[in-house]
Amino acid sequence: MIRKNIKKILVPLDGSKNSLRGLDEAIYLARQCQATITGLYVIPIYPRNFTDAIMPYQIHLTKSAKKFMETAKIISAQKGIVFKSKIIFGSPIIEINEMARNKSFDIIVIGSRGQSGLREVFLGSVAKAIVHKSKIPVLVIK
């Protein structure tokens, strides 16, 4: 049974195929409930002593995030769903929970794993942490 009182869906995205699966499920849910989707892409921050060395990487991540969010917006629009995108720097776990709480979302739809390799371990732990710390319902997509 789908809850009809879902009007705002938060979808954390990271550029992975699994986050796109999460977006697809969020679009399905949004169509059933006439809800809007906000895609949140959190770019991790690094300690200051690494800033000079990591700056080109963060510039690359920012460009990739913008491109990915544009793709997500197009996918949502093709299916008739309003998609708002937000790209921020910070700790993914903290930023996702803060956004969900402060903007009063009804549900979080998140992929169970993120990018492959070392980032997969990190981002997989993000989904787990969100499930345990969130005050609102969380739908985890495998």
Residues 6+ apart with CB under 8 A from 125: none
Q: How far apart are CA 111 and CA 39, in angstroms?
A: 12
Q: How far apart are CA 37 and CA 64, in angstroms?
A: 20
Average pLDDT of the residues in 27-34: 94
- Whether residue 1 is contained in a domain is answered as no
State the pLDDT confidence band at 130, using cuts at 50, 70 and 90. very high
Q: Kindly report, residue by residue over 70-129, the tens digit of the pLDDT.
A: 999 999 999 999 999 999 999 999 999 999 999 989 999 999 875 544 444 444 578 889
Query: At 54, is the pLDDT very low, low, confident or very high (cuts 50, 70, 90)?
Result: low
For residue 92, being part of any structural domain is answered with yes
* pLDDT on residue 45: 79
- Whether residue 16 has pLDDT greater than 70: yes
Determine the pLDDT at residue 44: 83
Average pLDDT, the chain: 86
Domain count, the chain: 1
Full-model pTM: 0.86
Q: Domain limits at 129?
A: 8-141
Q: 24: domain CATH number?
A: 3.40.50.620
Tokens of residue 87, six digits: 């790209």
Residue 60 lies in a domain: yes
3-state secondary structure of 41: strand
